[in-house]
Amino acid sequence: MAACAESAAPSSASATPPAASPERPAKLGLCVACHGEDGISRIAGTPHLAGQDGQYLERALVDYRSGKRQHVPMTSLANSLQPADIRALAAWYASRPGFHAGDAR
């Protein structure tokens, strides 16, 4: 049974473990209808955010907030975020466990 447990372990078991999960962001409620609390999109055309690169997520929100990146629902939502909210939301979704094909939708 020990060998069995070993064979079922993920291949990345020896890699650096992900950082501890951050606190649930105060503004997470703005995101979950489309992106899910777990970062798995519920709506076709909407990106999955689970396990996404944190720097990329932070830049996306900053760019929506500044108007550099345009998408009506995101522009409106990002305008209600402060920089600390953006950092918290990016860290939250970056730390969700990701997904494998077939998990989502």
Min CB(31)–its own copies separation in Å: 15
Min CB(51)–its own copies separation in Å: 5
Residue number with CB closer to its own copies (27 or 59): 59
For residues 76 and 84, give the distance between their C-alpha atoms in angstroms, rounded to a whole number.
17
Residue number with CB closer to its own copies (30 or 60): 60
Residue number with CB closer to its own copies (24 or 42): 42
Ramachandran region, residue 36 (left: φ > 0; alpha: ψ -120 to 50; beta: rest): left
Min CB(25)–its own copies separation in Å: 18
Instruction: Kindly state the greatest CA–CA separation across the chain.
Output: 56
> What residue type is assigned to position 52 of the chain?
Q
